[in-house]
Amino acid sequence: MRAWGRLSPRCDHSASTLRRGSKWLLGSRIRTRCGASSLPCGAGRTSTVTAPEVRSSPDATGHFGPYGGRFVPETLVHALDQLAAEYARARSDPAFASDLEQALRDFAGRPSPLVFAPQFSKAAHTRVFLKREDLLHTGAHKINNTIGQCLLARRMGKPRVIAETGAGQHGVATAAAAARCGLTCTIYMGVEDARRQHLNVQRMQLLGAEVREVESGSRTLKDAINEALRDWVTRVDDTHYVLGSVLGPHPFPTLVRDFQRVIGVEARAQFAGTVGGLADVLVACVGGGSNAIGLFHAFLDEPSVRKVGVEAGGLGIASGRHASRTAEPTVGVLHGTRTLVLQDERGMIRETHSVSAGLDYPALGPEHAWLRDQGMVEYTHATDAEALDAFEALSRLEGILPALETAHALAWVLREGKTLGRERNVVVGLSGRGDKDVEEVLRVRGAGRS
């Protein structure tokens, strides 16, 4: 089996072939068992965005240790090279920094507040603070990345953007950012996810995007990415792919991380300004991992701060119906990057399951895989049932509807709070709001109680 296009110098394994109708994007035959376990935003409504400081940066070929790189067809090499070069120029361009700062402030609504959750803290037996990304325009952290990438697309002279979406939040954020930047927009979404997130489908359409529902495969996020990549291959000259997480070929994992890093930079300054010092624990849900790396990255040089990423445990690891890559860690290639992937003994990508559409994905962002190996971040999981309980707990105790994705992080806090203790300060990345999940929660809860 030949490689998926030209490989970066340190990528010497085969991915899949690029043919419509084949499983060219569904993973590689690699199966390696992995045994290793300046933006000061305080209470005021101001935000200063500078070129992101680099920590745990990849090497020149986009590798975080053995992970990352670029497994792509030849037709995408030029587009990725162009993107990497343009991003490097933009990072040192004061005009781009000014445009980004203004858009994040006036369009997205940054900074997002960091708030203490007193009633939830009592229930969890520990002190819980929420980084309220749910209060941003479009309702989630996704807007941080889509604004940056749409500004880059306009800078590159590309009038059209495409994106994948699972929970719909990235699709909505891309549609909104595209409208603001005067770009046309097409969103790919699995049929199953569109069913679960019908409200977000309507929001995307109202924002001017064309929504293409994907019938192939498991009809979820993985398959939406497949179709978006197929689209991009055929229209690289006029189209930019706004990848939604710290996934895919270099430079996407770094680029998306840098646009999301504002979350942690703000949280660090806000906590220091209101409580003093550093939080004891940071907790965030992890699908691809953009929300989590956005929160963690500003603290990677602080070993005293415990960092916990919570994956989708689905119906339990033993059931095989989950989306926890670190519970059964094997290395493979998916969607242009080498990382931890859920796959079977033949190296074929396994179907995943989660009550949360945004966590229902079989690969972990390559930087997260590297951070796990280094012992810098802990990765664990919460089940569907635990997430649903946490969803209801925050809603009833604090009057905040969290996204089902975020509910996985909240579930970990409820589970581990007594062990942490009442004097510990825990910051949870509240990645998005749960309005989109209300119908699904009621459906699942109703089915479980009938």
Amino acid at 118: P
- Contact at 8 Å (CB) between 203 and 180? no
Question: What was the pLDDT predicted at 166?
Answer: 86
* Separation CA 209–CA 122 (nearest Å): 43
> Is the pTM of the predicted complex or chain greater than 0.85?
yes
In 3D space, the residue among 223, 269, 47 whose CA is nearest the CA of residue 147 turns out to be 47
Q: How far is CA 450 from CA 76, 431, 443, 446, in A?
A: 50, 31, 10, 6
At 105 the three-state DSSP class reads helix
- Per-residue pLDDT, 205: 98
* Beta pairing partners, 343: 349
What letter represents residue 351's amino acid? Answer: E
Between CA 156 and CA 161 the distance in angstroms is 12
Calculated CA dihedral for residues 275, 386, 192, 335, nearest 10 degrees: 60
Q: What CA–CA distance (Å, rounded) separates 203 from 185?
A: 13
Cα–Cα distance for residue pair 38/49, rounded to 1 Å: 7
CA proximity to 425, closest of 270, 315, 312 = 270
Q: At what angle do helices 74-91 and 142-155 cross, to 10 degrees?
A: 100
Rounded CA-CA distance 255/262 in Å is 13
User: Pick the catalytic residue: 164, 192, 386, 398?
Assistant: 164
Question: Measured between alpha carbons, how far is 250 from 77 in angstroms, rounded to an integer?
Answer: 10
Is 142 an annotated catalytic residue? yes
Give one DSSP letter per residue of 313-376, joined into a string: EET-GGGT-SB-TTTS-EEEEETTEEEEB-B-TTSPBPP---SSGGG--SB--HHHHHHHHHTS
- Name the residue among 347, 377, 413 with its Cα closest to residue 130: 413
CA distance 268 to 207: 33
| Active-site annotation holds for 431 | yes
**Is 3.40.50.720 the CATH classification of the domain at 106-139+259-449?**
no
Which conformational region is residue 265 in: left (phi greater than 0), alpha (psi within -120 to 50 degrees), or beta? Answer: alpha
Q: What pLDDT is stored for residue 449 in this prediction?
A: 58
DSSP 8-state code for residue 449: H
Give 78's Cβ-side CA count (13 Å radius).
11
CA distance 374 to 381: 19
Handedness of CA 18, 22, 25, 30 (dihedral sign): negative
pLDDT tens track for 84-116: 999 999 999 999 999 999 999 999 999 999 999
- CA 182 from centre of chain: 25
The C-alpha atoms of residue 98 and residue 95 are separated, in whole angstroms, by: 5
Q: Could you say which DSSP state residue 422 is in?
A: T
The pLDDT value recorded for residue 385 is: 98
Q: Which residue in 112, 386, 431, 436 is the catalytic one? A: 431
Q: Give the gyration radius of the chain's Cα atoms.
A: 20
Q: What is the pLDDT of residue 76?
A: 94
- Collect the ranges in the chain with pLDDT lower than 50: 1-26, 28-30, 35-54
The DSSP bridge partners found for residue 33 are: 330
Catalytic residue among 131, 142, 158, 222: 142
Residue 416's SS3 state is helix
Query: Is the Cβ–Cβ distance between 371 and 272 less than 8 Å?
Result: no
- Token readout for 239 is 């189209």
pLDDT at residue number 210: 98
Q: Where are the alpha helices (DSSP H) in 156-206?
A: 169-181, 191-196, 198-206
How far is 141 from 125, CA to CA, in rounded Å?
27
Q: So where are the chain's domains?
A: 106-139+259-449
Q: Three-state SS for 291?
A: helix
Tokens of 82: 């162009």
What's the pLDDT score for residue 39? Answer: 28
